[in-house]
Amino acid sequence: MPHAGGLYYEEHGPPDAEPLILSSGLGGSAGYWAPNLPALAERHRVIVYDHRGTGRSDRMVQGDLTLEAAGDDIVALMDALDIPRATLIGHAIGGMMGLAVALKHPARLSRIVVINGWARLDPYTARCFDTRLVLLRESPRAFVHGQPIFLFPAQWMSDHHARLEAEEEVHLAHFPGAEMVGRRIAAARRFNIADRLGEIDAQVLLIATEDDMLVPSSCSEKLAKGIPGAQLAKLATGAHAVNVTRADHFNMWLLDWLDGE
């Protein structure tokens, strides 16, 4: 399995094509992007990776775990793969890591796509995190069992019940531990770049869903108002993990944007 600086990664698509780095949300797994990889890798060099502290990457995170430090991991991975500049597509905190990179290493990312992210924690999302931490203290199984409620629409969950049950066992087998998950939630809660949005120079696309049960779409609206030239796409349905629940639509629409169509 390929590793760079303690990070597990995979490459898909033509090696000489435009590089796209995909960074997942709280779970941190490269596998999150499975519904999107085949379409994106047809015309792009796609790199997916497990965040440090999760999956097949180094489970040890020294010092403070912050989204800014996780952004430094993205830059280190780019250096290891000899990628001077790339597009980053990030789900929730994965996209916020991209914004942190844009502030600290402005030359490294030409474009950033943030799916259901924020500049400063919203009180509603804080309440959701409080609930997730209660589940985490109960047991890893309780935490994993409750996650679909925050990620997927109700009808989609009913229609995919058997799949979710099977995936629950996989997630439990690769669970990074309650302490690590708690540290990752704490990092997400502390992230605050609300006063620095005007410094972001990359081309930014913000994707928000109206039925997101974790992050209000108003959070993306605030990002769009603060980031110069940012584009905002609001979708009525799809919930927090819209790239999974509406994968075909998401893939087609995102590729059109990436390729300037």
Other C-beta atoms closer than 10 Å to the C-beta of 225 total 11
Domain that holds residue 170: 3-258
**Number of domains comprising the chain:** 1
Mean pLDDT over residues 13-35, rounded? 97
Tell how strand 7-12 and strand 45-49 pair up.
Answer: antiparallel
Q: What was the pLDDT predicted at 63?
A: 86
pLDDT confidence tier of residue 222, bands split at 50, 70 and 90: very high
Burial degree of 179 (CB within 10 A; 0-12, 13-18, 19+):
exposed
What CATH number corresponds to the domain at position 232? 3.40.50.1820
Task: Evaluate if residue 2 carries a pLDDT over 90.
Answer: no
Q: What was the pLDDT predicted at 50?
A: 98
Residues 6+ apart with CB under 8 A from 24: 30, 32, 33, 48, 51, 90, 91, 94
Task: Evaluate if residue 25 carries a pLDDT over 80.
Answer: yes
Mean pLDDT over residues 38-63, rounded? 95
Q: What was the pLDDT predicted at 3?
A: 86
What share of the chain has pLDDT > 70, as a percent? 99
Mean pLDDT over each residue of the chain, to the nearest integer? 97
State the DSSP code for 62: -
Q: What was the pLDDT predicted at 261?
A: 59
Cβ proximity of 116 and 209 under 8 Å: yes
Q: What was the pLDDT predicted at 78?
A: 98
Cα–Cα distances in angstroms (integers) from residue 148 to residues 95, 167, 189, 258, in the given order: 20, 10, 20, 29
Mean pLDDT over residues 5-17, rounded? 97
Q: What was the pLDDT predicted at 62?
A: 86
Cβ proximity of 33 and 22 under 8 Å: yes
pTM of the model: 0.96
In the numeric block, the tokens 């349905």 are attached to 237
Give 169-194 pLDDT, tens digit per residue. Answer: 999 999 999 999 999 999 999 999 99
Q: What was the pLDDT predicted at 22?
A: 98
Give 134-150 pLDDT, tens digit per residue. Answer: 999 999 999 999 999 99
pLDDT confidence tier of residue 235, bands split at 50, 70 and 90: very high
